[in-house]
Structure 1
Amino acid sequence: MNSEKIKRANFWLFLALSLYFLMNGAQLWETAIMVPAWTAAPPESLHFFQEPYGVDFKVFWIVVHSTHELVLIIALIFNWPFKSRRNAMVVLLVIHIGIRAWTLQYFAPTIIEFQAMEAAPVVIPELVEKAETWKSLNYIRVGLFYLVNLGYALLFTTKFNPNQNA
């Protein structure tokens, strides 16, 4: 087995894993600090999104996810010759894509809707319920992202068996 191929495969997997950990850290920070603040009592608590000092993580998340997913695909390409890793990486990538689809279908449109609302000195129970649902489902989503990343981390324990390639 070519040790250069193994080194490149390990490098790209490590880089993808590192970017996933970076993303996980940002998700944890946002989930622990920002989400409880804006979901507390909408529309009163929506001042976090208002100009001139409003928070909008859209560009950050687009850059982070795009970069990470590009590196994940490159890592898969470099690990493709190693069947034991390839199969696991394909499964993990499919799960990751499923979570991202859920994000784009539900989480992103819902938070954009909240961001577009004017903050007001009133609490609307229906909005509180909608925000609580978003927050609760977000805990599940972030947990799933962490589990997928743990799956990628466990791939470093995979032994390369020359008889299992391709």
Structure 2
Amino acid sequence: MTDSVIPPDDPTRALVHARPDDPALPHVAVAGNTYTILVAGEQTAGRYCLIDMRVPPGGGPPPHRHDFEEMFTVLDGAVEFTFRGERTVARAGETVNIPANAPHFFRNSSGEPAHMLCMCTPAGQDEFFQRVGDRVDGPTTPAPKLDEAQQKQRGERAGRLASEYRTEMLTP
């Protein structure tokens, strides 16, 4: 028998089988988008999280950066990513990886809804979204219409929590 360089199996960790229609999954409206946490960091020992993102026309977060990797796979539609000031459009079937610490944001600049998956490694973004967003009923539930005061309040909350989640909000 040889000594393995791989640690032993951890039987306390369970298989995660994410079903997007599972009513127990958290659905959160953030920055005009609807996000579903498919796999949370607590299920992966903090290694990563997987977020299903529904982005309406014109939707997307403000410019920001963080110290973790973020990978997006567009499932439907097209999303414009701005990475270090350069724009690129990702369409259905395409994947974009944002390296840690790089300034970026995305916008659905098409007239149709977009759908994508986002993996963050290590995890944490899933918790951030749940703390700054508004709970909604399901993955296709539109984000609530917020008045100017509510939008300002959400932005201030995100700004206060950003550093706790290794994120820096950037001015446009």
The structure with more helix, counted as a fraction of residues: 1
Structure with the larger RCO, 1 or 2 (CA within 8 Å, 6+ apart): 1
TM above 0.5: no
The structure with more strand, counted as a fraction of residues: 2
Report the structure number with the largest CA radius of gyration: 1
- TM-score by structure 2 length? 0.24
